[in-house]
Amino acid sequence: MPDRVLLPKDHNGRRLDHAIRSIWPNVPISAVMRSLRKGGVRIDGVRVRSGGFRVETGQEIIVPWEAAPPPDRPRTARSVPILWRGENVLVVDKPARLLVQPDVKDGDSVITRVWGMVGSTRETTGFAPAAVHRLDRNTTGVLAVALDGEALRELLRLFRERAVSKRYLAVVVGVPVARGVIDAPLLKTDDGVVRVDKNGRSAETRYERISTARVDGFDLSLVEMELLTGRTHQARVHMAHIGHPVLGDGKYADMGRSKDGIEANRRLKSARPLLHALSLGFPEGLTGPLLEVSGRTFRSPPPEEFSIYMAYIR
């Protein structure tokens, strides 16, 4: 028999087809589109045939399929360090060697750990806590998670508009100039490798060299970066592009004008790329679900393995 749901605030302003897919994730997209075409979906009793129709909080949506059983909760008792928690936003301190999103069903990740820690309302609202941006598996540091749909949409908008300050800390091979701006478009290939390419998406990174030292025959520098865009592997590829790859980054060690990265990785034996998301800063004047983070900056101290090299350099 048909199922019906009163739309909660998490779906206010969403496309109808997106709301349906969130609330009934087990219904094939082909069945959703077929039901829309045939007039089987109603909003407040009125048939709606356009998946692009924008829904509002409190509207009743009626669909021609039965309610699905609640999904299993993620089977994990593991946690992730919390830097700050509000009503609508959670800021976590991501550890190394952990994906942000699971790569297999119920796989270990930041998000599945957050679900286990704070709970998920997916079975009643069609929304579960969601990461707003991404960090690579081996990158540590500050990560923002939305706890409701309105906050998620507003946070995504801020990131698209480049209104959030994202600062990173890295140990790089060599001695880059004191400060600079890297403006080089990035293209992601089918095998997951990112390269500088004129046909890629625009990408811009500002950096400042903090200090430099010679360690076991290699010049190493501590660099702070601000990512003005948020492209995949941006910090790693941009630094490698100017000849100063992140120490421990085997994927991009041989990119750019310097080949010292490969030998430094071999000799110094860093277990991972030494890249750390140092801080996230939110602009002043935010309202609604983001009032609680308006004007705030969240910072994460570099982890121990990172700090070892920082001690050498400083």
Residue ranges per structural domain of the chain: 3-63, 165-278+307-313
Give the position of tokens 């909760």: 73
pLDDT at 61 over 70: yes
Length of the chain: 314
In this prediction, residue 26 has a pLDDT band, given cuts at 50, 70 and 90, of confident
What is the mean pLDDT of the segment spanning 159-178?
A: 95
From 2-16, 27-41, 273-287, the region with the lowest mean pLDDT: 2-16
pLDDT of residue 57: 82
Tell me the CA distances in angstroms from 2 to 14, 32, 42, 125, 182, one per residue in order: 22, 13, 11, 17, 55
Helix (H) / strand (E) containing 156: helix 149-160
Region of poorest pLDDT, from 110-119, 167-176, 272-281:
110-119
3-state secondary structure of 141: strand
Listed range (9-13, 155-159, 204-208) with the worst mean pLDDT: 9-13
DSSP code of 30?
H
Coil, helix or strand at residue 260: helix
Instruction: Please report the DSSP string for 287-308 in residue order.
Output: -GGGGGGTT-EEE-PPPHHHHH
Please give the mean pLDDT across all residues of the chain. Answer: 88
pTM (whole model) above 0.85: no
Least confident of 9-23, 24-38, 118-132, 226-240: 118-132
pLDDT per residue as tens digits for the range 90-135: 999 999 999 998 888 778 999 999 988 887 555 555 678 899 999 9
What band does 158 get if pLDDT is binned at 50, 70 and 90? Answer: very high
The whole-number average pLDDT for the span 200-208 is 96
Mean pLDDT to the nearest integer, 170-184: 95
9-19: per-residue pLDDT in tens? 777 888 888 88
Average pLDDT, integer, range 222-237: 95
Q: What angle do CA 85, 12, 157 make, to 5 degrees?
A: 60
**Active-site residue, from 10, 136, 148, 249:** 136
Percentage above 90 pLDDT, the chain: 56
What pLDDT does residue 263 have? Answer: 86
CATH of 165-278+307-313, one of 3.40.50.450, 3.30.2350.10, 3.40.50.1980, 3.90.960.10: 3.30.2350.10
Phi then psi for residue 199, to 5 deg, are -90, 5
Split at pLDDT 50, 70, 90, the class of 77 is: low
**What percentage of the chain carries pLDDT values higher than 70?**
92
Look at residue 68 in the predicted model and tell me its pLDDT. Answer: 58
The answer regarding whether domain 3-63 maps to CATH 3.10.290.10 reads yes
- Distance from the first to the final alpha carbon of the chain: 68
The model's confidence at residue 279, banded by pLDDT at 50, 70 and 90, is very high
Phi, psi for 209 (deg, rounded to 5)? -80, 125
User: Token pair for residue 305?
Assistant: 């393995």
User: Catalytic annotation on 106?
Assistant: no
State how far the Cα of 103 lies from the Cα of 109, in Å rounded to an integer: 8
